[in-house]
Amino acid sequence: MAQFPVVRMRRLRATEALRRLVRETTLAPSDLIYPLFVVEGQGVQRAIGAMPGNYHWSLDTLPCVLDEVASLGIPGVLLFGIPEEKDEVGSQAYAPEGIVQRAVRAIKQSHPDLLVITDVCLCEYTSHGHCGVVTADGCLQNDPTLELLQRTAVSHAQAGADIVAPSDMMDGRVGAIRAALDANGFESVALLAYAAKYASAFYGPFREAADSAPRFGDRRAYQMDPANRREALREVALDVAEGADLVMVKPALSYLDVIREVRDRFDLPLVAYNVSGEYSMVKAAAANGWVDGERLMLEILTSIKRAGADVILTYHALEAARLLRAAG
């Protein structure tokens, strides 16, 4: 192989035109999905303190943000619902007139071409804040939770969701939900599995936004240990075998190695979740003048795409899409 001075690697870095020409990884608005928090009430567009630039939306204010999502070329949204009332079994998660079910119908009426992905979990809806049925001594029950997740997913499909996305990390939930969808005539509704979801400290701002922090204990008994990589591949393989159409790694930034491994081993579309803590760190550092927030945001999103993600769920979606569109 030729060496310096014949080879000069800087030749192809000299101008923006050259850098664009040889760029290996490209990022576009079509790679992004925007998470939204929907709440009860009227006229609500309430700022989320820990996540600057993100809001709680009531159904009547949703169209303004959906208009921008659509105009920027972002293909869809991921819905999280915050109910007015919670109980031990999260019944508002699968109520026909629950906040997410009504939001799905509203979005499909006002913006029928937008993809609607729904988070299927109970943590926002349970009084104890855990992701399923809990015994009197505080133990989360896997198998009784599956039935409630099935009911939730079917109710979302009935409302018009394009993709249901179970995030609870119960064993067997992908197969159970796929069976329930098919039995109810929703064979065409896709299933995005939160396949490798880690018990991460990066979720703090989300738990403020969704009012979903556990009232006791934590979720380490069902979400993955951040130290484990091989286990993530087993989780993905099981979800693929149970019928997942897409798989997810969450969080993204500290798990780029896992994203790469999943990309190399599996051919399904791969989604990465650039989670709330990753977002808020960028915003906090930029607000203090420590970093160029826009450059750092795009660098992080590009790194996630470079690692192998096909789709990125990110709270940066609107801001990133504006910059990408402006850059041509």
Task: Respond yes or no: is residue 305 known to be catalytic.
Answer: no
Q: Choosing from 86, 108, 197, 305, which is the catalytic residue?
A: 197
- Determine the length of the chain: 328
Query: Minimal CA–CA distance to 126: which of 167, 82, 159?
Result: 82
Task: Name every residue whose Cβ is closer than 8 Å to that of residue 191 and which is 6 or more positions away in sequence.
Answer: 163, 164, 165, 166, 174, 177, 178, 181, 243, 244, 245, 246
82/39 Cα distance (integer angstroms): 5
Catalytic residue (one of 86, 108, 250, 283) = 250
Helix (H, G, I), strand (E, B) or coil at 117: strand
Q: Distance between CA 191 and CA 181 in Å, rounded?
A: 9
Sign of the dihedral defined by the CA atoms of residues 54, 58, 59, 64, in that order: negative
| CA–CA gap between residue 97 and residue 166 (Å, rounded) | 20
C-alpha separations of 11 from 6, 15, 23, 196 in Å: 11, 9, 14, 41
- Annotation says 250 is catalytic: yes
The answer to whether 144 and 120 have CB atoms below 8 angstroms apart is no
Residues with active-site annotation: 197, 250
